Structure 1
Amino acid sequence: MRGDFNMTVSAQYAPVSDFHNRWLRRILAIFAAAVLCGCSAMKTGYQQGDRLAYWWIDHYVDVSDAQEPPTRDAIARFFAWHRQSQLPEISTLLTQAREQVRQPVSPSAIAQFQESSQRLARQSFNQAMPDVADLLLTLTPAQIDRIEKKFDESNTKYRKKYLSGSAADRESARFDKVMDYAKLVYGGFSNEQEKAIHAAMGPLMQGAQARYAERLRRQEDWLALARQVQQTRPPKAQVIELLRRYADHWQHPPGETRAASHDANNQAGVALATTIANLTTPKQKAHAAERFQKWIDDTHSLMHERQGQTAQAANQ
């Protein structure tokens, strides 16, 4: 996982973390992104997750007429599985966060939430691998070239926002993103609190170039995997094994340099999240607990929707 603070916050405060490959990333991120947009958006975002996921895949691939039905079916299967298998665990994780947020927060507590969310995300990816393999086996060279083009466009925006301009400009852009997540959970912050958070961002900023280099490496690995499958058309079981290896490297980058950078970024994110949590007042902690409770309520509502739909289908 990226060590950036926003990813650590996602791990602590959202049901699933940022562990997703670039191909299926949006499918697995729908729920987390909806949470991070606000309480009212979470339920609506999840309910529309299949449409949003298809839109994202089509944006990157330009899905053909022949690919569209199996792609939509695969997304529907994923969300049906996720509702049944992961929403209960997400509810438990959010409940734990609601209780923890009222107390002083330790780095180990944040790391535990991160590990739990990463575990859920890896389970999601494993569940989706057979369908991702099927889609990979149908990609054309033009579609893979389109993915590469979209990566390049995204990287240009990333560099412009986080790696260009003066050191002060880069730090300001990252600080704004950090505070967006912090305010979502805790509400407003005083000037003194914001100054303390800004002062604690040093280790996070030091890892900026390494995070970008890892981003590029993961994209290159994904494109290489897609082109290997397109050119050799291996058996589906072999494609699934390639996907599993890709996911392993995402979670645990190979090589001492990449692994050390990965660990340093994670530690920087955990340290900053701990600092922010322990700067908050009782009023801010109460705001966070209320926010979590609303997310828990929405999660329960989504689970009940599934149960109601299942019962209705059985009676038809």
Structure 2
Amino acid sequence: MALTLLLGACSSVGLAYRQADTLAWWWLDRRLDFDDTQAPRVRQALTQWLDWHRRHPLALAEDVALIEEIAREAGADTRPERLCRWAQQLRERQHLHLQTLAGGAMADVLAGLSEAQLRHLQQALDEDNRDWRERFLRGDADQRQRASRERFIDRAETVYGRLDAAQRRLVADRLRASPWDAARWQLERERQQRDLIETLQALRTLQAPERERRAALLQAWARRTLEPDDPQARQYREQLQRFQCELIAELHNRTDAGQRREAATRLQGWARDLRAAGAATATAAGS
């Protein structure tokens, strides 16, 4: 199912939650190369972000509840509309987490980036783009189609276990009609990256007393990463989402009882991991 495949990409969800601040630090520092003054402020901002989740157990409970709902539904046939509803809920959860991070002390830290650090970020993004093109734009159309099929099957098998030959043929047949265009998506990635650089440059022009404007600027960027302002980009994302919901609903409805039990078991395990991780971090914070 659409959301289960997304969840399948991060099956170590409990570990990711426990180490969210560390993982985010690593990702940010690689791209922005924080100096000795900035580094502790960034770590503190990330810790405060994770502390927000500890102080607001309802946020974690809603994440767990979403996974548990999908697990309960795994044994029955489904419809594309249901999958798209779950996908929308996932985007809303992502939006909440991004808005919380962007609205905290992180905006103040990012406002202090130097021109050299922005150049470093651009170089890191250029490297990311080269890696992305190597992965998704390599070879001719047939080679890209095969690679796309194998990526999809790998994600599906993370949830359902081994797919049989008929299920694999279904995936291959449907993906031939996919609206996914790697070259077009690369252009969208580059547009988002330019938006990020421009946002960070704008942050640098705001003075310390303008903290609320800094936070609002960064939160607006976070919103655009999930819901683009550009109508064509937004329409393309919606088209991709509908196709994915239809494909995954059809695949799910072709799975057997054993595969559905496997999906439910894995989802229930991820929900337990996330709940346990939240309890562990809350205990650590109070000790």
Scaled by the length of structure 2, the TM-score of the pair is 0.90
Q: Which amino acid aligns with 1:242?
A: L
Q: Which amino acid aligns with 2:276?
A: S
Report deviation, 1:245.
2.5
Does residue 147 of structure 2 align to residue 173 of structure 1? yes
Q: For 2:277, which of 292, 298, 302 is the aligned residue?
A: 302
Change (3 A) 1:182 1:138: same
Counterparts of 2:187 and 2:170 in 1: how far apart (Å)? 29
Deviations 1:140-183 (A, max 9, x none): 11111111111111111111211231111111221121112101
Counterparts of 2:20 and 2:235 in 1: how far apart (Å)? 35
Checking the alignment, whether the CA contact within 8 Å between 2:18 and 2:281 is kept in structure 1 is: no
2:28 matched residue in structure 1: 57
Moved more, 275-284 or 244-253: 244-253
Counterparts of 1:60 and 1:256 in 2: how far apart (Å)? 29
Counterparts of 1:296 and 1:269 in 2: how far apart (Å)? 23
Q: Which segments of 5 or more consecutive residues in structure 2 lack a partner in the other structure?
A: none
RMSD: 2.1
Q: Which amino acid aligns with 2:75?
A: R
1:94 matched residue in structure 2: 67
Moved more, 142-151 or 251-260: 251-260
Counterparts of 2:153 and 2:110 in 1: how far apart (Å)? 38
Q: Which segments of 5 or more consecutive residues in structure 1 lack a partner in the other structure?
A: 1-7, 18-31
Q: Which runs of 4+ in 1 moved over 6 A?
A: none
Q: Which amino acid aligns with 1:180?
A: D
Moved more, 250-259 or 269-278: 250-259
Which structure 2 residues correspond to residues 124-139 of structure 1 after superposition, within 5 A?
124-129=97-102, 130-139=104-113
Q: Which amino acid aligns with 2:156?
A: A
Which structure 2 residues correspond to residues 118-157 of structure 1 after superposition, within 5 A?
118-129=91-102, 130-157=104-131
1:254 matched residue in structure 2: 229
Deviations 1:216-272 (A, max 9, x none): 111111111112222555722222222232233333323432232222122122222
Q: How many pairs were matched up?
A: 283
- Relative contact order, CA 8 A, sep 6+: which one is greater? 2
Checking the alignment, whether the CA contact within 8 Å between 2:203 and 2:217 is kept in structure 1 is: no
Q: For 1:70, which of 41, 56, 77 is the aligned residue?
A: 41
Which structure 2 residues correspond to residues 80-91 of structure 1 after superposition, within 5 A?
80-83=51-54, 84-91=57-64
Counterparts of 1:55 and 1:247 in 2: how far apart (Å)? 19
2:261 matched residue in structure 1: 286
Counterparts of 2:105 and 2:245 in 1: how far apart (Å)? 34
Aligned with 1:204: secondary structure? coil
Deviations 1:112-141 (A, max 9, x none): 111111111111111111323112111011
Q: For 2:89, which of 86, 97, 116 is the aligned residue?
A: 116
2:158 matched residue in structure 1: 184
Counterparts of 1:203 and 1:225 in 2: how far apart (Å)? 36
Checking the alignment, whether the CA contact within 8 Å between 1:94 and 1:296 is kept in structure 2 is: yes
Aligned with 1:288: secondary structure? helix
Does residue 200 of structure 2 align to residue 226 of structure 1? yes
1:13 matched residue in structure 2: 4
Deviations 1:54-89 (A, max 9, x none): 111111111110011111111111122224342211
Counterparts of 2:80 and 2:45 in 1: how far apart (Å)? 38
Scaled by the length of structure 1, the TM-score of the pair is 0.83
Counterparts of 1:231 and 1:142 in 2: how far apart (Å)? 16
Which structure 2 residues correspond to residues 22-37 of structure 1 after superposition, within 5 A?
36-37=9-10
Counterparts of 1:250 and 1:277 in 2: how far apart (Å)? 29
Percent identity of equivalent pairs: 22
Change (3 A) 1:124 1:285: same
Aligned with 2:9: secondary structure? helix
1:24 matched residue in structure 2: none
